[in-house]
Chains A and B, each alone.
Chain A
Amino acid sequence: MAPHLGHDEFFKSLADLLSKTSQNLHGSVNLTQKPLIDVPGATTTNSQPSILIRATDGNTNTPNPKNASEATKISMKRASKVKLSTIVSPDDIEAFYVRYAEVCKTGMTGLKKRDRRGRKAKTKGGAAKVTKA
């Protein structure tokens, strides 16, 4: 298993991974967060454990074996999936997630954008609500 990355490195790799997936219009990225319990090296301040963050593409960025040539099939076997991980100590959680959200927002461009045209039509009817929010 690859060693855990530092935050900067992790964000850089994650941004790469997300943008690559978004450009391909194919594949998936899995992000996992879980508390890190009873592992040497984890800094545990009273009751709050560190958080382990993992990211992987689940090998979905490799070409489809059905329409791949023999040569690419062989190279595909060697190409392994992307696996990133980092540890966030309880003190850093807030700062980390601010950046994390930023990276995800910029990277996940395959999602649906906010529809401005629909909004204009809507505001005429529900102007009171919009100004409140």
Chain B
Amino acid sequence: MPYLSTSQAYLEQSAQLLQAYPETTRIVTKYNFPTNRRGNVIRAHKSQVRKNAKATDASSTTTPAQTSIATLTLKTFNPTTGICLHYRTNKAQEVGRLITSLGKLAAGADVAGLGLSAAVPAAGADVDMVDAPAEEVATPPVASKAQPQAQGQSAKGKKKGGKGKR
């Protein structure tokens, strides 16, 4: 059950999963605030420390460390095969686009029908790849690098979001 690094990869693979199992696959959208449980707080702190260590220069925006930022988690799950695709974001500007795309998925759109950019790596190999979704995550290195760090700094992620919008 991989967390995909870009919304585009998530939507494409979800489209393929829905195509393969249209009757049993469901999509869950979770909007939640972080809790104050001890484990959660520790994990958040650790990731913050790691991020700071990694990007000392890029953190010129000084991540505001607000009280609590909600996250939006999208999950496409097929119970019969146990395939579960995730995408997580905390950027408000993505919501509209994501929900609209979910509507297209619900209407039974295929990968091409999603209207995403033309960079579809292996549209023909949809039958094989549902077995091994992790391999398909081979997105360009720039994209996969920009997205996980986007938690704190939106400057980097923004370029990505702008590209994927149309």
A115 touches B33 (CB 8 A): no
Q: Tell me the smallest distance from the CB of A114 to a CB of chain B, in Å.
A: 5
Nearest chain-A residue to B154 (Cβ)?
A: A115
Total count of chain A residues near the partner, CB < 8 A:
49
B47 located at the interface, meaning its Cβ lies under 8 Å from any Cβ of chain A in the complex: no
Query: Please, how many angstroms separate the alpha-carbon atoms of A2 and B96 in the complex?
Result: 28
Interface positions, chain B 130-166, Cβ under 8 Å from A, are 153-155, 158-159, 162-163, 165-166
| Chain B residues within 8 Å of chain A by Cβ, number | 43
The residue of chain B having its C-beta at the shortest distance from the C-beta of A129 within the complex is B159
Cross-chain pairs A/B with CB under 8 angstroms, 11 sampled: A30-B29, A32-B29, A93-B107, A97-B106, A104-B99, A105-B95, A105-B96, A109-B92, A110-B68, A111-B95, A129-B159
**Interface on A for B, CB 8 Å cutoff?**
18, 21-22, 24-35, 37, 48-49, 51, 60, 88, 90, 93-94, 96-98, 100-102, 104-105, 108-115, 117-119, 121-122, 126, 129-130, 133
